[in-house]
Structure 1
């Protein structure tokens, strides 16, 4: 089974690797980094789809499905489970959704392993050739490999611990951390427009915006993993009042089973209300801070484009968030809302990276990009 799963992961990685191979980009390593960012963003979106369709236990074992590499081979077991519980977590459709998510994750792992291999070969080449000026760095690819392995472990625990909310939420956060690290690494390998010196004054605000967004994403993940999305079905009020009855003690007890309190009792509705209400209201804090940041960054040369995209993504995220309430949580909009959070993370990561370039010479690559281009003996420009 493990060999079959490895083959599936390699097959899933063939298309993105082919895109890199046939690309006209002279720096294939840089192209591989950006393709991995794109695929990881897609994986985050599909992970949200898997969670929101309640497919996390579509295959209740790991890494395969009832001991097999794909749902076709496990069809008999899946059909028996579905017949026993037609509305339960195991159905043929949910099994396929869960396994496609795993194949997708394995493909990302293969791409990151390819990045590590290339970086290691460059590092070895430059050790043998002392006159070489750089390799683009081995530390970041190794860190990415560590994170993808850690993410895989949390994916396994998500299943074996039966969707325990804290594990599922950490699985989401690690996935988005991996996405942010990949974007940062790809940005280090790329050419950027000159950034005005005024950007240096936004360094603290940009870091704070990223931190607040991470906290909001964690709260959103906690809403999703506890199925608290419909605890407040009206807006701007919640259950017809500004401050509804809430149970923070049970709602934010981290180590507990899904739908249960820490003592094993059923989770009260007031706990779900506390989870939803906190996420909803903290969103306005994030909207204000990140909106102000986008406005300020839009006035700094070199940051205008990123700032415009950040403002647009923020507005769309607000729209999708409100739409999930008024339209009773439709699946497509809920997935788009999760994707919007990932997009905001990417844009804030890029904004933080570009702010670090403030005051650098015009029309130059970062030192990391120059080193990477030299190490693979390819030109620095496209």
Structure 2
């Protein structure tokens, strides 16, 4: 018979493994999007009805002959399918976490509700992954898929952070909790704006900085840029999306970043010496600096793949650090829970 401490240790290992895989999947999802591999296999869940691109080689060859520079190629098919395989593994691990959370809820000393919410969230995320393909990379669906992925990472981070010991946070630090909630809120707005930039291929709509096309307020079409229900590269009317619309998308994301940097930067600076928060606060400041560097590099070097993936990874890092700090602020004044 398994001892309570061993059951808890296994649960903790599974949670941290799943959290790490969630972060990896978000990074790989960015790679899928940035390499234009989202339609590498234009059906779902298989690849032309096969389990892998190996069985679909004839279909891929015909697609390549019809469109040599189209969305389908052997490399893109493998990139897309590996992303799906990792997603399926993640789903199975989360099922395992949920089962253990219910089965050992007395041993763990925690309600299994969060694990159950995570299970529902990964199912919804899987559905949006399928709709991303079936709706032919519709920007609204792809952006929602990205934001939900970050939300799943936030939930997994909360679950994992509960299992990690840390120095007790002083009770008076709790006054920063509402500000951290606000900071995470505007961060997710920025994530949605950034996803909208990426899914509309507007990253290079402004090639200079800090101005855009040499102007602080360049000609912009916000109505067209933020028309939500439309196909990729088109307006609801069916016309091609204009440069002014792409500029509006890019300009909004760039300038809203000021609010994110200001609030999270102040929080990181003020909390950098607070026991139990010093490490995450310093990491928050470092990640903000990384985001600024990768964002500028993306513009000046015309969106190099590695830098663009790092920019997405930095955003994920801000989510996990912000959630960790919020959890610790919520526990301010309480003794640190030392996991076995």
Q: After TM superposition, is the score higher than 0.5?
A: yes
Question: Which of 120, 126, 150 is the matching residue for 1:152?
Answer: 126
The match for 1:46 is: 28
Shift of 1:246: 0.1
- In 1, distance between residues paired with 2:109 and 2:94? 17
- Cα–Cα, structure 1 residues 113 and 216, in superposed 2: closer, same or farther, change >3 Å? same
Count of residues paired in the alignment: 335
| Superposed CA offset, 1:325-368 (max 9, x none) | 0111100000000000000000000011111111113xx41xxx
Structure 1 counterpart SS, 2:104? helix
- In 2, distance between residues paired with 1:41 and 1:336? 12
- In 1, distance between residues paired with 2:154 and 2:108? 24
Structure 2 counterpart SS, 1:200? helix
- In 2, distance between residues paired with 1:134 and 1:287? 37
Shift of 1:26: 6.4
- Matched-pair contact (CA < 8 Å) for 1:48–1:335: yes
The match for 1:354 is: 328
Shift of 1:97: 0.4
- In 1, distance between residues paired with 2:8 and 2:228? 48
Q: What does residue range 3-82 of structure 1 map to in structure 2 within 5 Å? A: 27-82=9-64
- In 2, distance between residues paired with 1:268 and 1:231? 10
Single out whichever of 280-289 and 154-163 deviates more from structure 2. Answer: 280-289
Structure 1 counterpart SS, 2:327? helix
- Matched-pair contact (CA < 8 Å) for 1:198–1:300: no
| Structure 2 segments unaligned to the other structure (5+ residues) | 1-5
- Matched-pair contact (CA < 8 Å) for 1:213–1:286: yes
- In 1, distance between residues paired with 2:264 and 2:116? 31
- Matched-pair contact (CA < 8 Å) for 2:101–2:108: no
Q: TM-score, normalised by structure 1?
A: 0.85
The match for 1:330 is: 304
- In 2, distance between residues paired with 1:148 and 1:224? 22
Question: Which of 82, 99, 107 is the matching residue for 1:100?
Answer: 82
| Structure 1 segments unaligned to the other structure (5+ residues) | 1-23, 127-132, 370-379
Shift of 1:134: 6.0
Single out whichever of 344-353 and 198-207 deviates more from structure 2. Answer: 198-207
Q: TM-score, normalised by structure 2?
A: 0.96
Question: Which of 146, 156, 160 is the matching residue for 1:172?
Answer: 146
The match for 1:374 is: none
The match for 1:244 is: 218
Q: Does residue 1:90 correspond to 2:64, yes or no? A: no
- In 2, distance between residues paired with 1:355 and 1:64? 44
RMSD: 1.5
